[in-house]
Amino acid sequence: MAIRSYKGVTPSFNASVYVDESSILVGDITLGIDCSVWPLVAARGDVNYIRIGDRTNIQDGSVLHLSRATKSNPDGYPLIIGDDVTVGHKVMLHGCVLGNRILVGMGAIIMDNVVVEDDVIIGGGSLVPPNKRLESGYLYVGSPAKQARPLTEQELAFLKVSANNYVLLKDEYLAEAQ
């Protein structure tokens, strides 16, 4: 497993977290309980920080980075992800803020200073340009991503189910590794 320090700061998480040994986590990154990071994820907390809540999964080949502070933007753009978030395969998350119970579809790109409110689905292959705010309870699709329709009750319930499924799966992987 490639867990690397940068400027004396090492990624931090407890024993409930599964990090695949092929993924690379660098620097100022914290993950909450029961998270999972799947093969070939690259997450780099070097010029800002990454915070990930509980029971969130980052699927294979995803890339997580952030933007540094500048004179005009003294905080830069860290990457902050909430609880029960499913980040699909090969997603790019850059300097954005994701709330809770979100599904980011495969191959989506979310750029700097985007805020995704709780309970949102972003369709596979979507691109969310900088500074957008995605409203709670809606499906967004396309490039650039547009609000497509409200989520159904079934889809809203699925957001939590998806996160729980990944908690169960990572428990199996952790057991395998012992």
Kindly list the residues in this chain that would bind ligand COA in the complex (CB under 6 A): 86, 88-89, 103, 105-106, 121, 123-126, 139, 141-142, 148-149
Look up residue 108 and give its DSSP letter: -
Are residues 147 and 132 in contact, defined by beta-carbon separation less than 8 angstroms?
A: no
Nearer to ligand COA, 45 or 88 (CB): 88
Q: Can you tell me the distance from the alpha carbon of 73 to that of 71, in angstroms, rounded to the nearest whole number? A: 6
Give least dist CB 140 to ligand COA, A: 8
Nearer to ligand COA, 69 or 161 (CB): 161
Q: Can you tell me the distance from the alpha carbon of 19 to that of 146, in angstroms, rounded to the nearest whole number? A: 33
Give least dist CB 25 to ligand COA, A: 21
Nearer to ligand COA, 25 or 145 (CB): 145
Give least dist CB 97 to ligand COA, A: 20
Left (φ > 0), alpha (ψ -120 to 50) or beta: where does 116 sit?
Answer: beta
